[in-house]
Amino acid sequence: MKYTKEMRLHWTKWVWLALMAIGCTGLDKPLPILGPREVDGADTLYHTIAPFRFVDQDSAVVTNADFTGKIYVADFFFTSCRTICPIMKTQMLRVYEATTEMPDVLLLSHTIDPEWDTVALLHDYAERLGVESRRWHFVTGQKDSIYKIAQTSYFATAMEDRSEPDGFIHSGAFLLIDRRGRIRGKYDGTKEEEVNRLIGDLKRLRRE
Amino acid sequence: MSKRWIGLVVVLWVTACSPIDPKLKQYLVEGERLYVLHCSNCHQRDGQGLRRVYPPLAGSDYLKENLPRVICSMKYGLQGEIIVNGIMYNQAMPGVPSLTELELAEIATYLYNSWGTQTGLIDARRIGPLLDSCARPRPRR
């Protein structure tokens, strides 16, 4: 059979269609892996969230094991805060609403004022926010462990400072953590556009 | 004369005879700025609040009926259970002690003349006596 011009046209049409289909489903670049890394021979060791053990609004112990194989978004806040936390919570609520149909996505909010934010208070807070503890954990614990994990694992600022209007300095960051405990994105949780980007990235990460 | 012209004349006549009080206007502009700065984080820009955590100010029966307490809570905070439009709230609201009498009056004027209510100017001179009536809670820290 002779290879005709029509046949070639026919063939290229399919190539184009295939390329478009791939383009739409996401040959998009994978999200970066943030934090320091070590190269060990042929392997690269990425920064991961250190082991932790906190208690959530239902008095349940929450550790890394609850998040392995899950994607989660972490932040640091406290209930009596009047500066950025209310905005952060409004925005985190958007993430919560956007992920209702995604059982593999969880939210983890750490209080940085554990003396005030007791389990009972966090329970009340979550209930008033109308969110399920299964999907959104509000955790408290040893103050030092919370500050340490904020600074050394999530690279988020959290510290007490009585000269601040709220008594604390903290960043409004939302951190996107993948199924293996690696940081894949950092967003300003006080800005709607940044949180839109987070929601987009979350969907990309789920396809990985 | 067409109907449209009659309409225009009527509108001009009405606005000319009841000009919006420049003092009220000034209070509203400043009040809105202060509201965005000090209150909208929690109560939201549109006064709708956030779920059962932060109560709404838009359409709030509590706001309507408790001017003295509202003024006091802006400066000294508010704590304990309160009921707004039939829903119970219980979360401490921090005050902003640095607010002056004029600023309190401006914010109050904004609250009482926005989101569908129109109560008119709340003059700064009314604030001093209202503040004297406040029970001042001790600061938390």
Full pLDDT tens readout for chain B, 141 residues: 566 666 555 554 545 445 578 999 999 999 999 999 999 999 999 999 999 999 999 999 999 999 999 999 999 999 999 999 999 999 889 899 999 999 999 999 999 999 999 999 999 999 999 998 876 555 544
Indicate the fold that domain A37-206 takes in CATH.
Glutaredoxin (3.40.30)
pLDDT for A94-142, tens place per residue? 999 999 999 999 999 999 999 999 999 999 999 999 999 999 999 999 9
Sketch the domain layout of chain A as residue ranges. 37-206
Q: How far is CA A100 from CA A106, A130, A176, A180, B58, in A?
A: 10, 13, 17, 22, 29
Any CB–CB contact under 8 A between B92 and chain A?
Answer: yes
- CB A105: neighbour CB atoms within 10 A? 21
> Which 8-state DSSP code applies to residue A112?
S
Q: Which residues of B touch A128 (CB under 8 A)?
A: 51-53, 89, 91
pLDDT of residue A2: 59
Contacts of residue B53 in chain A, CB cutoff 8 Å? 89, 125, 128-129
8 A C-beta contact, residue B58 and residue B116: yes
pLDDT of residue A170: 72
Looking at the complex, does the CB of residue A89 fall below 8 Å from at least one CB of chain B? yes
Domain B21-132 carries which CATH code?
1.10.760.10
Q: Least CA distance to A117: which residue of chain B? A: B91
The dihedral sign for the CA sequence B129, B133, B136, B137: negative
Q: What is the CB-side half-sphere exposure of residue A146 using CA atoms within 13 A? A: 28
Q: Give the start-to-end residue ranges of the domains of chain B.
A: 21-132
